[in-house]
Chain A
Amino acid sequence: MVKFQHVNKWYGSLHVLREINLRIAKGEVVVVCGPSGSGKSTLIRCINRLEPIQAGEIFVDGKPLSDPTLDLRALRAEIGFVFQQFNLYPHLTVRENLTLAPMKVRKVSRGEAEAIAAKLLERVGIPDKSNAYPANLSGGQQQRVAIARALAMQPKIMLFDEPTSALDPEMINEVLEVMTGLAKEGMTMVVVTHEMGFARRVAHRVLFMDEGQIIEEGAPQTFFETPGSPRTRQFLSKILSH
């Protein structure tokens, strides 16, 4: 589904991604963790080319992103992205947040788009909020709307960039439950998160990144119980100790 081949990225002289090689299969749930500044957000932002790369190649669904004839908008329409800060459109109602892209990009009729929106709001547990504005919702509700907005495009893959990091602790679970449900339905997911409980329960594979490199990867059980690299052990002991 997604393949990184010798990917390198710099911000000026800062080498933020170093020789990334990675394959993500259809239906796989991959959790990416690591200290801040390790390049994990950059990694997933490269998949829908919110960030360009300077060397190497990324394939999505077999198509190389560097291909100049690639229809980037069509590709992005297939990739759902959920941001740490939700980034809902504050001037639009919840329903309009969900129907904008399907109507403008997919050219779905308003009626059909609204039917999809209603179904998705039901699924993320806030069917009664479709006329509300984002400012009237709690953080957890906003993030669930943001997930529904991404799903409204019926994506083949969902990317999550620290989806619970901006939330109050009591709202984290309602978002993780929605994500767990998605994973169970077979959605291909790449999740940047520090929620190690979620990683243990839901992920098929966990990656640990540091200084722009993938230091370690493995199934959750091996990853958490017998991490190979000292850097991973150090990181895990810091975030799991409390």
Chain B
Amino acid sequence: MEFSVIVKNFDFLIAQGLLGFGNFVGGTLRLAVPAIVLGFVLGIFIGLGRLARRPWIRIPATIYVEIFRGVPLVMVIFWFWFIIPVLLRVALPEYGVALTAFVVFEAAYLGEIVRAGIQSVPRGQMEAATATGLSSAQTMLYVILPQALKNMIPALVTQFIVLFKDTSLASIIGYVDLTKAAQIVNNREIRPFELYLFIAVVYWLCTYGMSLYARHLEQRFTPSV
């Protein structure tokens, strides 16, 4: 055991690998955080689309979910990396490709969570809001979504954690995230045990932090009885 390898390469692993500041395009958090935020926003629209009464909204949303839920994430990353530049005749940067692939892919899963969350709110809530003259957008915004969001928190956080860990797949197109950074250091130092144990701890600390925050949110959204 020679943990000095961690100390020696700490800056590279954390600044470059986790945060994305360094000579390479990369950073686990720099990819995961915007992917979670944008994926969730797109997911809300997909989820609402799945529940729309108008078929020209509902059917495309359903097809979207079925397509992206049915293919591996690695393949989606490859599509954006190899196929889109050919079709559009422009070269896309690694970061843009990775972020787009994650947002597009995760929105399918998050959309299903949003749909289930909305459907978990009793029908009477919508009827009560409608009966007082609220529009369907107002009903969704002030009555249904706040309740649905609370019910969604456990499933959402699980999906966010999955997404966070899946960002390591971006390394296949040369994106230097935490996993890739550890690989680079390991190629030089040959200390796989120490390096991969260290990044496992870093991943775990981040995801456990997300779990704790979710628990806190869930309590905050529960009216004190």
Please give the residue numbers on chain A whose beta carbons come within 8 Å of chain B beta carbons, in ascending order: 48, 50, 73-77, 79-81, 83, 85, 87-91, 100-101, 104-105, 133, 135-136, 146, 149-150, 153
Residues of chain B with a CB closer than 8 A to A149's CB: 132
The interface bits of chain B over 95-134 (1 if a CB of A lies within 8 angstroms of the residue's CB, else 0) are: 0000000000000000000000000001011011111111
| Nearest-neighbor residue (CB-CB) of A78 within chain B | B133
| B131-151 with Cβ < 8 A to chain A | 131-135, 138, 142-143, 146-147, 150
Known A-B contacts: A101-B133, A150-B132. Give 8 more (CB < 8 A): A76-B131, A77-B132, A81-B128, A81-B132, A83-B127, A88-B128, A91-B146, A136-B223
Residues of chain B with a CB closer than 8 A to A150's CB: 131-132
User: Which one, A74, A83, A91, A136, contacts B133 given CB within 8 A?
Assistant: A74
Contact assessment for A83 and B128 in the assembled complex, using a CB-CB cutoff below 8 Å: yes
User: Which one, B125, B135, B138, contacts A89 given CB within 8 A?
Assistant: B125
Residues of chain A with a CB closer than 8 A to B135's CB: 73
| Nearest-neighbor residue (CB-CB) of A71 within chain B | B133
User: Which one, A48, A74, A89, A136, contacts B131 given CB within 8 A?
Assistant: A48
24 residue pairs bridging A and B, Cβ less than 8 Å apart: A48-B131, A73-B133, A73-B134, A76-B130, A79-B131, A80-B131, A81-B131, A83-B128, A85-B124, A87-B127, A89-B125, A91-B147, A91-B150, A91-B221, A100-B142, A101-B132, A101-B134, A105-B132, A105-B134, A133-B223, A133-B224, A133-B225, A136-B223, A149-B132
User: Total interface residues on B, using CB and 8 Å?
Assistant: 22
- Asked whether A87 and B150 contact (CB < 8 A) given A101-B134, A135-B225, the answer is no
Contact assessment for B127 and A104 in the assembled complex, using a CB-CB cutoff below 8 Å: no
Min Cβ gap B224→A in Å is: 8
Contact assessment for B223 and A87 in the assembled complex, using a CB-CB cutoff below 8 Å: no
User: Which one, A76, A85, A133, A136, contacts B132 given CB within 8 A?
Assistant: A76
Residues of chain B with a CB closer than 8 A to A100's CB: 132, 134, 142-143
Sort A-B residue pairs by CB-CB distance and give the 7 closest, nearest first.
A77-B133, A101-B132, A87-B128, A133-B223, A87-B124, A81-B131, A105-B133
Residues of chain A with a CB closer than 8 A to B128's CB: 81, 83, 87-89, 146
- A91 to B129 CA separation, bound complex (whole angstroms): 13
Interface centre among A75, A104, A150 (most CB of B within 10 A): A104
Interface centre among B132, B135, B150 (most CB of A within 10 A): B132
Residues of chain B with a CB closer than 8 A to A79's CB: 131
Residues of chain B with a CB closer than 8 A to A153's CB: 132-133
- A100 to B125 CA separation, bound complex (whole angstroms): 13
Residues of chain A with a CB closer than 8 A to B142's CB: 100, 104
User: Which one, A48, A74, A80, A104, contacts B138 given CB within 8 A?
Assistant: A104
Min Cβ gap B187→A in Å is: 53
Residues of chain B with a CB closer than 8 A to A136's CB: 223, 225
Residues of chain A with a CB closer than 8 A to B127's CB: 50, 83, 87
Residues of chain B with a CB closer than 8 A to A74's CB: 133
Min Cβ gap B120→A in Å is: 13
Residues of chain B with a CB closer than 8 A to A104's CB: 134, 138, 142
| Nearest-neighbor residue (CB-CB) of B124 within chain A | A87
| Nearest-neighbor residue (CB-CB) of A96 within chain B | B142
| Nearest-neighbor residue (CB-CB) of B138 within chain A | A104
Residues of chain B with a CB closer than 8 A to A76's CB: 130-133
- A91 to B124 CA separation, bound complex (whole angstroms): 14
- A85 to B123 CA separation, bound complex (whole angstroms): 11
Contact assessment for A87 and B125 in the assembled complex, using a CB-CB cutoff below 8 Å: yes
| Nearest-neighbor residue (CB-CB) of A105 within chain B | B133
